[in-house]
């Protein structure tokens, strides 16, 4: 009898595990330009510090309510406190400042205009890190990754009144996660980006990939290549792409599987660039579905030690950036947040931003399209990654797939980076090599890079020469490296004696350099944490890097001071990394103007 019970329990556990492992089946791109119900706002929440998913033996997502005096219910959303969505829970409640457990959110809503011939999907822009999505008492699935969007279908569950969406978010860190256990930024937990209920036809265009064919760049007639992904039981035989300004109205033959490649020739195409961020309205039609977008057309490639934008050399005048609004000390999640930092970057003279160290909100990428700012995007393949774990490699591929699905059509995005400050060892080299190959199979329209480490000091090389021979460089289009001489080791004047030797004939980007300063603290040029020290360090560093053969750009660390639990020096850092050129209050430091002057004359 006991054995039979054990077997039944084991089978139930296996079924539950299989159900829990369900991931999104359909990726939906361009959610901003579809019909949707906005589910942002105040959500009730229940704390789940031990990550059990239940209270008193009851699953929290059942939304149980005591109806009789004899009923036992040991949690209550109805009487719970609230959190704003989107937003980091750490910032909203003092008691949650460093909380990294599990929280269950609830949102009640009605759908009086529910339509029978439509499909409905819960879409989450991002939630950090493991997310369990339930709807009206049914678990839909889980998503792993704190910075990429996901959707689950609720067509058969949604009703006109009394819907309850309950989402559990676990912000814990583990060695087999991406990022791993330690990072030099704040671990903003919770639902950090928009939540929507998306409405689409029964058969709809869930994704599309549209880009300029670089082989036709120099031709009068240029070719636009594309791919459609259509989801539904009945796939239409025809689809259509319309670009009114280019007089394009092109019919596409759709295959039965719904994934269809196409090309269309255009004349008088105006290319997208920082000087001329031209966007075209592009409309895609299939069956009863119509999706509109604004897309710029450009090419990005390398030739020798140059980066070519639309066939012409470009110098990337950049800066690094974290995805925070420093003024309200929260994860960025709005167009206004994006406007704040992009305006600062343009005032600095930037045409390029490194979005570090994880996918930033979609608003910043779309706004960069409009403003003409080139972007480097990356995953947090950073310190402590389990390079020998095949499951972690699968996670990296999945997260990159979601990022590329989201941002493929954005002209501003030109570089995918596959790692930051990771030491060359066989497992790491194999991991990143396979990831690089994988990315190229799903997107060959962008460049690949990584922030590499310099070689250890070798016999035969004078101390004044830094050499780079990382094996992963063979897989990259652009060689990038971080160098903090004058801050982590030595004084700024030691930059005058250093030079750089690359093991490849490829363009070079200095992906990080800089040092900390407290805005408003002044001293001489050798006084640490003073604006004058940071200013001096920038002067010496820029002069050192400007001599690199093949220098194609730089992205100093960093535009704005950002939150980090690793930085706790009282009266100086106070939980902030102070390497920003702008303080968390929006005040510019003296080094800001050093870099601004360099970019103006570059």
Percent of the chain with pLDDT over 90: 92
Q: By CB neighbour count within 10 A (0-12 exposed, 13-18 middle, 19+ buried), where does 361 fall? A: buried
More confident residue, 415 or 459: 415
pLDDT the model gives residue 257: 85
Boundary residue ending a domain (177, 201, 225) = 201
DSSP 369-431: HHHT-EEEEE----TT--TT-HHHHHHHHHHHHHHHHHHTT-TTEEEEEEEES----HHHHHH
Range of the domain at 237: 204-287
DSSP H helical ranges for 173-315: none
CATH number at residue 360: 3.20.20.80
pLDDT band at 455 (very low <50, low <70, confident <90, very high): confident
User: Is residue 579, in this structure, part of any structural domain at all?
Assistant: no
pLDDT the model gives residue 529: 98
Picking from 18-32, 50-64, 82-96, 445-459, which range would have the lowest pLDDT averaged per residue? Answer: 18-32
pLDDT the model gives residue 334: 97
pLDDT tens digits, residue range 378-421?
Answer: 999 999 999 999 999 999 999 999 999 999 999 999 999 999 99
Average pLDDT, the chain: 94
- The residue-averaged pLDDT of 459-475 equals 83
Q: Would you give the DSSP letter of residue 73?
A: -
**Buried-exposed string 145-166: b where 16+ CB fall within 10 A, e elsewhere:** bbbbbbbbbbeebbeeeebbbb
pLDDT the model gives residue 193: 98
Distance, CA of 142 to CA of 135 (rounded, Å):
12
pLDDT band at 5 (very low <50, low <70, confident <90, very high): very low
Q: At 574, phi and psi to the nearest 5?
A: 55, 40
Residues 189 and 256 in one domain: no
Length of the chain in residues, anyone?
A: 602
Instruction: Say whether pLDDT at 22 is over 80.
Output: no
User: Is residue 136, in this structure, part of any structural domain at all?
Assistant: yes
pLDDT tens digits, residue range 495-508?
Answer: 999 999 998 999 99
pLDDT tens digits, residue range 273-285?
Answer: 999 999 999 999 9
C-alpha dist (Å) from residue 377 to 140, 178, 329, 361: 30, 15, 22, 11
Query: Residue 132 half-sphere exposure, CB side, CA atoms within 13 Å?
Result: 25
Residues 156 and 240 in one domain: no
DSSP 336-359: HHHHHHHHHHHHHT-SEEEE-SSP
pLDDT the model gives residue 421: 93
- The residue-averaged pLDDT of 22-37 equals 90
User: Is residue 414, in this structure, part of any structural domain at all?
Assistant: yes
Report pTM: 0.94
The number of folded domains in the chain is: 3
pLDDT the model gives residue 458: 52
pLDDT tens digits, residue range 202-241?
Answer: 999 999 999 999 999 999 999 999 999 999 999 999 999 9
Boundary residue ending a domain (156, 181, 201) = 201
Distance, CA of 467 to CA of 334 (rounded, Å):
42
CATH number at residue 277: 2.60.40.10
Residues 164 and 268 in one domain: no
pLDDT the model gives residue 11: 36
User: Is residue 439, in this structure, part of any structural domain at all?
Assistant: yes
Boundary residue ending a domain (225, 255, 287) = 287
- The residue-averaged pLDDT of 433-444 equals 98
pLDDT tens digits, residue range 68-118?
Answer: 999 999 999 999 999 999 999 999 999 999 999 999 999 999 999 999 999
User: Is residue 302, in this structure, part of any structural domain at all?
Assistant: no
Residues 235 and 323 in one domain: no
Distance, CA of 251 to CA of 242 (rounded, Å):
9
Q: Which residues are CB-contacts of 219 (< 8 A; sequence separation ≥ 6)?
A: none
Residues 139 and 257 in one domain: no
CATH number at residue 177: 2.60.120.260
User: Is residue 196, in this structure, part of any structural domain at all?
Assistant: yes
pLDDT tens digits, residue range 338-374?
Answer: 999 999 999 999 999 999 999 999 999 999 999 999 9
Q: Say how many C-beta atoms besides its own lie within 10 A of residue 561's C-beta.
A: 27
- The residue-averaged pLDDT of 169-177 equals 97
pLDDT tens digits, residue range 236-275?
Answer: 999 999 999 999 999 999 998 888 999 999 999 999 999 9
User: Is residue 294, in this structure, part of any structural domain at all?
Assistant: no
pLDDT the model gives residue 14: 34
Residues 313 and 415 in one domain: yes
Distance, CA of 122 to CA of 492 (rounded, Å):
52
Distance, CA of 274 to CA of 342 (rounded, Å):
13
Q: Which residues are CB-contacts of 370 (< 8 A; sequence separation ≥ 6)?
A: 277, 279, 294
pLDDT band at 4 (very low <50, low <70, confident <90, very high): very low
* Crossing angle between the packed helical segments 335-348 and 362-371, to the nearest 10 degrees: 50
Residues 187 and 211 in one domain: no
User: Is residue 572, in this structure, part of any structural domain at all?
Assistant: no
Residues 397 and 449 in one domain: yes
Residues 402 and 457 in one domain: yes
pLDDT the model gives residue 56: 86
pLDDT the model gives residue 425: 96
Residues 214 and 338 in one domain: no
Residues 265 and 163 in one domain: no
DSSP 208-230: EEEEE-GGGTTSSEEEEEEEEEE
pLDDT tens digits, residue range 547-565?
Answer: 999 999 999 999 999 999 9
Residues 274 and 315 in one domain: no
């Amino acid at each position: 009898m006991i054995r039979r019970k054990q077997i039944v329990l084991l089978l139930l556990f296996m079924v539950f595990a299989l159900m829990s492992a369900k991931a999104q089946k359909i990726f939906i791109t361009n959610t901003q330009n579809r019909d949707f119900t906005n589910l942002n706002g105040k959500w009730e929440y229940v704390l789940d510090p031990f990550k059990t998913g239940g209270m008193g033996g009851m699953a929290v997502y059942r939304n149980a309510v005591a109806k009789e005096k004899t009923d036992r219910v040991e949690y209550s959303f109805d009487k719970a406190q609230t959190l704003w969505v989107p937003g980091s829970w750490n910032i909203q409640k003092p008691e949650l400042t460093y909380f990294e457990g599990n929280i269950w959110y609830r949102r009640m809503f009605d759908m009086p205009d529910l339509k029978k011939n439509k499909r409905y999907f819960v879409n989450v822009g991002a939630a950090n890190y493991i997310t369990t999505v339930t709807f009206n008492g049914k678990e839909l699935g889980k998503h792993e990754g704190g910075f990429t969007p996901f959707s689950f279908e609720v067509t058969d569950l949604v009703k006109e009144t009394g819907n309850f969406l309950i989402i559990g978010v676990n912000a814990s860190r583990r060695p087999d996660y991406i990022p791993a256990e330690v990072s030099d930024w704040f671990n903003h937990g919770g639902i950090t980006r928009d939540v929507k209920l998306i409405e689409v036809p029964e058969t709809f265009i869930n994704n599309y990939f549209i880009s300029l064919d670089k082989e036709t760049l120099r031709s009068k007639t240029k070719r636009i290549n594309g791919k459609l992904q259509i989801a539904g039981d009945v796939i239409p035989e025809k689809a259509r792409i319309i670009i009114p300004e280019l007089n394009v109205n092109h019919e596409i033959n759709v295959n039965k599987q719904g994934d269809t490649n196409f090309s269309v020739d255009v004349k008088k195409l105006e290319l997208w660039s920082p000087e001329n961020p031209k966007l075209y309205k592009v409309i895609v039609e299939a069956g009863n579905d119509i999706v509109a977008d604004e897309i710029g057309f450009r090419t990005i490639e390398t030739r020798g030690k140059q980066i070519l934008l639309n066939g012409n050399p470009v110098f990337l005048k950049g800066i690094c950036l974290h995805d925070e609004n420093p003024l309200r000390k929260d994860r960025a999640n709005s167009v206004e947040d994006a406007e704040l930092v992009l305006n600062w970057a343009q005032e600095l003279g930037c045409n390029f931003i490194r979005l570090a160290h994880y996918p930033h909100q979609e608003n910043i990428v779309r706004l960069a399209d409009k403003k003409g700012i080139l972007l480097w995007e990356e995953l947090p393949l950073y310190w402590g990654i389990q390079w020998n774990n095949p499951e972690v490699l699968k996670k990296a591929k999945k997260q990159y797939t979601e990022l590329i699905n989201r941002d493929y059509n954005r002209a501003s995005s030109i570089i995918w980076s596959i790692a930051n400050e990771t030491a060359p060892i066989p497992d790491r080299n194999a991991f990143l090599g396979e990831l690089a190959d994988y990315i190229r199979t799903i997107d060959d329209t962008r460049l690949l890079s990584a922030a590499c480490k310099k070689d250890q000091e070798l016999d035969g090389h004078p101390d004044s020469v830094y050499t780079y021979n990382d094996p992963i460089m063979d897989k990259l289009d652009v060689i990038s490296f971080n160098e903090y001489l004058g801050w982590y080791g030595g004084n700024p004047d030691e930059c005058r004696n250093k030079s750089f030797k690359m093991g490849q004939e490829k363009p070079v980007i200095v992906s990080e350099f800089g040092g900390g300063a407290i805005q408003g603290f002044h001293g001489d040029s050798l006084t640490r944490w003073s604006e004058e020290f940071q200013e001096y360090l920038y002067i010496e560093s820029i002069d050192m890097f400007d001599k690199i053969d093949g220098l194609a750009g730089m992205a100093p660390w960093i535009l704005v001071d950002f939150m980090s639990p690793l930085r706790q020096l009282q009266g100086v850092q106070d939980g902030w990394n102070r390497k920003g050129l702008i303080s968390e209050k929006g005040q510019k430091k003296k080094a800001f103007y050093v870099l601004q002057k360099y970019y103006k004359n570059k």
